[in-house]
Amino acid sequence: MRINREMMLEDMKKLPSLFIGFFLCAYGIAQMKGANIGMNSWGTLNLGLVNKFAVEFGRVTQIIGILVILFSLTLKIYPGMGTILNMYFIGMFIDMIDKVHIIWRPETYPLKVVSLFLGLLIFNYGVYFYIRQELGAGPRDGLMVGLIKITGLSATYIRPAIELTVLVVGYLLGGIVGIGTVIVTLCGGYILNKIFVFNGFDPKKTNQRKIYDYFIETQEMVKN
């Protein structure tokens, strides 16, 4: 088995941009959590698990990421380098941001809504920022991109469908559902799709790198 060193070195140059995307995602999640009016669906699920098992929010994010990767494999959605790094570093960045207290925590309800939208915008821009590197979408977004390709539908429809399902599970586990949850669930896919369109990015045409692409014989076996 031979390693495609040229491809690997080319992708390593994208890592700084990839990590910027990870940090934006983590900051957006932390900001939405800090608004304290309800999080996105995955956040609701994470909070439910945090309350049940008394672990850090970022650590739960990492565990869920592993489970989503395993589920995606059943749909033949294979992880890339970016997928694995996403699973670990976004959770780590969330816990780091929580500890240094650098997010905006407004007191009035209208400003809480504004801060929630700010977090949602930053998060979705982070999603776009690392997906465009084509090193493998994050566990949750890899699932979204895979379903977009399978169904031919846009992120406007696929993302809410995923998040509504996760929301129900999170609520049943004891996660808090608030007006922020409704806003993020209904608007998240729309905002992400607008970011894609604004930047001329079509997730249906993206060619995300898979781990096996770096191993020449394995790549040929998968194609055959």
Residue 38: the pLDDT is 87
Spell 133-156 as b/e; 16+ CB within 10 A means b.
Answer: bbbbbbbbbbbbbbbbeeeeebbe
Neighbours of 58 (CB within 10 A): 24
Residue 136 DSSP symbol: -
- Note whether 211 and 80 are within 8 A (CB): yes
- Note whether 97 and 29 are within 8 A (CB): no
Residue 218: the pLDDT is 53
Six-digit token pair at 132?
């465009």
- Please give the chain's pLDDT, 224 residues, in tens: 688 888 989 999 999 999 999 999 999 999 998 998 988 788 889 988 988 888 899 999 999 989 888 888 887 788 889 989 998 999 999 999 999 989 999 999 999 999 999 999 999 999 999 889 999 877 887 778 778 878 888 777 887 788 788 888 888 888 878 899 888 878 888 899 999 999 998 877 878 888 888 886 655 555 55
- For 30, phi then psi, to 5°, come to -65, -35
Residue 222: the pLDDT is 53
Helix (H, G, I), strand (E, B) or coil at 207: coil
Residue 5: the pLDDT is 86
Residue 150: the pLDDT is 80
Residue 90: the pLDDT is 93
pTM of full prediction above 0.85: no
User: Residue 208: which H helix or E strand, with range?
Assistant: none
Domain residue ranges in the chain: 2-216
